[in-house]
Amino acid sequence: LVKMGANESSVEEMLSTLEEGSLDLDLKSDRGKEGLNHLSRTVELLNDSYSIKVKVDYSIVRGLAYYTGLVFEVKTGVTGEMGSIAGGGRYDDLVSIVGGPHIPATGMSIGLERLIESLLIEGKLKEFTYRNDVVVIPVKYSWDILKKCIEIAEKIRAGGLSTIVDYSVRSLTKSLEKASKRGFRFAVIIGPKELKENQVTLRDLENWKEYKVSIDNILDAIKRGKT
């Protein structure tokens, strides 16, 4: 880069930034600041709500040219020389390039052999029966409500119950009807009022009764309802 005319101190600063993976950068352009803000919030969401350890590495380059934003790789603590078990990123134009409508998306590919090997090493590969236990439904979309929905879902999953967050932009009635048709037993509903009161509305989709439950007690309330 220096031979091409770049300032030597700027090159050293760039290499240091790449190595550290810092999110505390003094960017000049508005586009750069916006991108860094999105990256910071993504890392925050993964770390705080999903409890996924994230390392920012500005040197990662995926081998395909259709990525238009964030790219990522997924590793486990046992992969070692195996490398990543999954990788992907953001592509705004790929769907339209292959003949579809313009649908910006994020996706990834998973190496099944590596994934299975990792699960075997960790002793986590066992037979299971898929079931739909709980769906978490945000009434209104905001950053705080989204984070809380994910945190609640993670808490319920940690208690051994199959749980998803409904990210669709439907009315509450349609979301509940869809969840019932898919066989979910409980719906956890949270909106601005519930968030402020640290509560959720718990709907039993078998008898359609609902209860106000403290977020701290949601797992116990669901398990009591199942019995």
**What are the pLDDT digits (tens) for 128-147?**
556 789 999 999 889 999 99
Question: Do residues 16 and 104 both lie within one domain?
Answer: yes
pLDDT on residue 8: 82
Last residue of a domain, one of 122, 157, 177: 122
| pLDDT exceeds 70 at position 198 | yes
Q: In terms of residue numbers, what domain contains 201?
A: 134-226
Mean pLDDT to the nearest integer, 161-166: 94
Residues 138 and 110 in one domain: no
How much is the pLDDT for 183? 92
Is the same domain home to 12 and 118?
yes
Same domain, 105 and 150: no
pLDDT over 70 (residue 154): yes
pLDDT at 176: 95
Q: How many domains does the chain have?
A: 2
Task: Let me know whether 139 and 76 are in one domain.
Answer: no
Q: Indicate if 14 and 84 belong to the same structural domain.
A: yes
138 touches 145 (CB < 8 A): yes
Question: Given this model, what pLDDT does residue 81 score?
Answer: 67
Which among 86, 43, 56, 89 has a CA at the least distance from the CA of 70? 89
pLDDT at 65: 83
The region that residue 51 occupies, defined by phi over 0 for left and psi between -120 and 50 for alpha, beta otherwise, is: left
Residue 127 covered by a domain: no
pLDDT in tens, 116-130: 888 888 887 765 556
Ranges assigned E (strand) in 75-193: 86-91, 105-110, 134-138, 163-165, 186-190
On whether both 103 and 142 belong to a single domain, the answer is no
Residue 208: per-residue pLDDT: 92
Of the two residues 15 and 66, the one the predictor is more confident about is 66
Do 86 and 159 have their domain in common?
Answer: no
Cα separation, 96 vs 98, in Å, equals 5
Q: What is the pLDDT of residue 196?
A: 95
Decide which of 122, 152, 170 is a domain's last residue.
122
Percent pLDDT > 70 in the chain is 92
Q: Decide if pLDDT at 167 tops 80.
A: yes
